[in-house]
């Protein structure tokens, strides 16, 4: 099991920004896809953004234009810059990674989650 260590969550007012970071500690292989899911209370977990090792990124429609995902392949890290945050962005955010597939639809590796709370 590869530990994915997340950081950067917290409480912010609507319109503010946060940056989430995830590092694959101890991984000796490269992940073809890394990204972030989120789960709000009473809702299903949803894909927020994902990026391939080549730099191709996808975003959920709800965050396009506000969130930016990036990664450092050499360090096996992925960042999520979240701007113009809204109360509906409140959720637990999970880092995810897949060493084989590029779509992050069923990632085998998950972080423990970091809470993001946006107050109105």
* Three-class secondary structure assignment of 13-46: ECCCCEEEEEEECCCCCCCCEEEEEEECCCCCCE
Going by the DSSP 8-state scheme, the letter that residue 64 receives in this structure is T
36 near 20, Cβ under 8 Å?
A: yes
What are the helix (H) ranges across the chain?
none
Question: What b-and-e string marks burial along 37-74, b requiring 16 or more CB atoms within 10 Å of the CB?
Answer: bbeeeeeeeebbbbbbeeeeebbeeebeeebbbebeee
> 46: which 2 tokens?
């949803």
For the stretch 22-72, pLDDT in tens is 998 776 678 999 999 999 999 999 999 999 999 999 999 999 999 999 998
Region 19-23: mean pLDDT is 96
Residue 81 contacts residue 89 (beta carbons within 8 Å): no
Amino acid 29: pLDDT: 72
* pLDDT tens readout for residues 56-113: 999 999 999 999 999 988 888 999 999 999 999 999 999 999 999 998 999 999 999 9
Confidence (pLDDT) at 42: 94
Number of other residues whose CB lies within 10 A of the CB of residue 79: 18
Output the pLDDT for position 73: 84
């Amino acid at each position: 099991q590869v530990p994915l260590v997340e950081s950067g969550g917290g409480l912010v007012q609507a319109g503010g920004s946060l940056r989430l970071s995830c590092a694959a500690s101890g991984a000796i292989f490269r992940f073809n896809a890394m990204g972030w899911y989120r789960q709000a209370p009473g809702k299903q977990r949803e894909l927020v953004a994902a990026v391939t090792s080549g730099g191709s990124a996808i975003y959920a429609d709800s965050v396009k234009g506000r969130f930016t995902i990036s990664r450092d392949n050499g360090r096996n890290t992925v960042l999520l810059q979240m701007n113009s945050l809204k109360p509906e962005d409140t959720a637990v955010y999970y880092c995810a990674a897949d060493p084989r597939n590029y779509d992050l639809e069923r990632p085998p590796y998950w972080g423990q989650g970091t809470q993001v709370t946006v107050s109105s």
